[in-house]
Amino acid sequence: MKYSLLFLFFCIIPTYLSNIYAKDTITIKSPLKIPLLLSGNYGELRNNHFHTGLDFKTQGRTGLPIYAADKGYVSRISVSPYGYGLALYIDHPSGITTVYGHLDRFAPYIDKIVKQKQYEEESFSVNFYLKKDELKVEQGQLVAYSGNTGSSGGPHLHFEMRHTESENLINPAPYFKNKLVDTRCPSVRSVAIYPVKGKGVINGSSHRKIATPTIITSGKYIINDTFTAWGDIYFGIKAYDHMNNTSNIYGIYSLKIFVDNSPIYSFEINDLSFDVNRAVNSLIDYADWKNNKSFYMRSYVAPGNQLPIYTNVIDRGIFKIQQEKDYQIRYELSDIYGNTSVVNMIIKGRKQDIPDTTFPQNSYHLPYHKKNIIKGKGIYWELPQGALYEDIDLKYGYNNEYSEYFSPVYTLGEENIPLHTYTTLKIQITKDTIQDKKQYYVARLGKKGESAFCGNYENGYITVSVRDLGRFTVKVDSIPPTITPLTPEKWGRSGRIRLRIGDTQSGIKSFRGEIDGKFVIFSMDGKTSIAQHTLETSRTVRGKKHSLHFEVIDSCGNIKQYKKEFYW
């Protein structure tokens, strides 16, 4: 009893108090001094992830001042052609970290530190941490300027809030509710009804059915289509939120499903973590996303889905229709302001034969809760426990009729089945004829293009990490990257050197620029593939001829070099 009380006092109570403190006493100020509008909200559905922050509009411009949302110290700085681009992390005394992404540039006192690090590492891309109190900032202090760097789709500020210790992602919206106007209800596009394979049927079919709701008044919908069902079914919905003064669409914050007024499923998107963020692929109808680029949020919770968003789920969201009667179905969808939309529909319980589902030929049954290993002629594939969200029957195939490849083409499942973690794939190279073994890579032959995976060669095999299913084979990349100078005749007048770089197979791994034999920083925009250097008198002497040397290496080790003399 004594030890239990001590545990309560030293472990549970401090955690409880810190949560209360975090929610009730943090003062977060706007990082922008303009009226706030969102282009994206927290929890919005994205490709392979939930959106983890708020995207603040910057009036279609770059270069707006960004201010620290609270006092603290700069704990991390990241620069990359992709992802968050230029990003700044500030730790606060409250135990919260704020993140500012897609920046155009840092404030001068921070930029000086970044440049020093880039020249030390001789790399544009850097990611480094600062010691506590090494670079203090006050609330409202200028720290950066807004931009469009990295994987940004347009000028905006990506703003995140994280628990500093765990890095779990907090929904920042409650801290900005008095600065954003939202009186609009979510809109519903369509509702899907899914029969569970081998256990349910809808209108005599084992395939999903789609219904388009009719709007009655704002926030109220009804589905007039007639559906008969028997056995196990679950639901899905395509819906978006809206806000005042913008035409953007956003993700749904809260969703509930009732059958005959009894709740069977609900979620509320608040705290997320990077470890499980990819499990958005289990929440959505992944096959529909892959085929049609649309998001249906399913009510089915797969046993390997560890998302923390679910609040009231019965039987994993599966509803059993076992009586011949009308079942009243109700969806309730809400935003963080409490604006709610309701969809009503009827499912008629009618006895009907459930289509038989036989175990498919040439397949492996893979349980989600175990490590799975597939061995075949010239192939070894290991899926660790946690790679699957649920048991699957994996389609397996082998085709040796492609003369242009260096191994057979292996079919390992279908593209419309998601994987959560990386898996280890080892393929034998049946035509091991090239001298430079680094030039081998594994290609995933997708319906909409090819993906390249470079790995390690050993004893006639190449081993790579993959996180998608599909068709795989071995190819060779012996073609160097490309370097295209952009208006070199203007370099001397503008003081800017611009090059477009690219690679058609394995992808760019690294790039490096030198002027007069000394390293200089070329910034890189992953969206345009343009590398750029702005000449500085502190590093390049003005009024003379200079020599540029630029080198690009792809992921298979092929090198392209470009040299040019210019006057500045």
Phi-psi region of 109 (alpha: psi -120 to 50; beta: other; left: phi over 0): alpha
pLDDT band at 6 (very low <50, low <70, confident <90, very high): very low
Do the Cβ atoms of 538 and 526 come closer than 8 Å?
A: no
Instruction: Annotate 485-537 with DSSP letters as a single string.
Output: ES-GGGHHHH-EEEEEEE-SSS-EEEEEEEETTEEE--EEETTTTEEEEE--T
Report pTM.
0.92
Angle among Cα 268, 271, 272 to the nearest 5 degrees reads 105
pLDDT of residue 77 exceeding 70: yes
pLDDT band at 221 (very low <50, low <70, confident <90, very high): very high
- Here the tokens at position 68 are 């620290």
* Burial call 241-254: b when 16+ CB within 10 Å, e when fewer: bbbeebebbbbbbb
Nearest to 339 by CA among 242, 227, 257: 242
Please, what is the average pLDDT of the chain? 94
pLDDT in tens, 370-415: 999 999 999 999 999 999 999 999 999 999 989 999 999 999 999 9
Beta-carbon contacts of residue 504 (< 8 Å; ≥ 6 apart): 479
Task: Specify the pLDDT at position 10.
Answer: 39
pLDDT of residue 52 exceeding 70: yes
Q: Which amino acid is at 31?
A: P
pLDDT band at 429 (very low <50, low <70, confident <90, very high): very high
Beta-carbon contacts of residue 441 (< 8 Å; ≥ 6 apart): 452, 453, 454, 455, 462, 464, 474, 475, 476, 477, 505, 506, 555, 556
Q: What does R_g of the chain's alpha carbons equal in angstroms?
A: 27
pLDDT band at 5 (very low <50, low <70, confident <90, very high): very low
Q: What percent of the chain has pLDDT over 70?
A: 95
- Here the tokens at position 69 are 């949302």
Length of the chain: 568
Task: Specify the pLDDT at position 15.
Answer: 40
Task: Specify the pLDDT at position 380.
Answer: 98
Distance CA 326, CA 350 (A): 9
Average of pLDDT values for 414-423?
A: 96
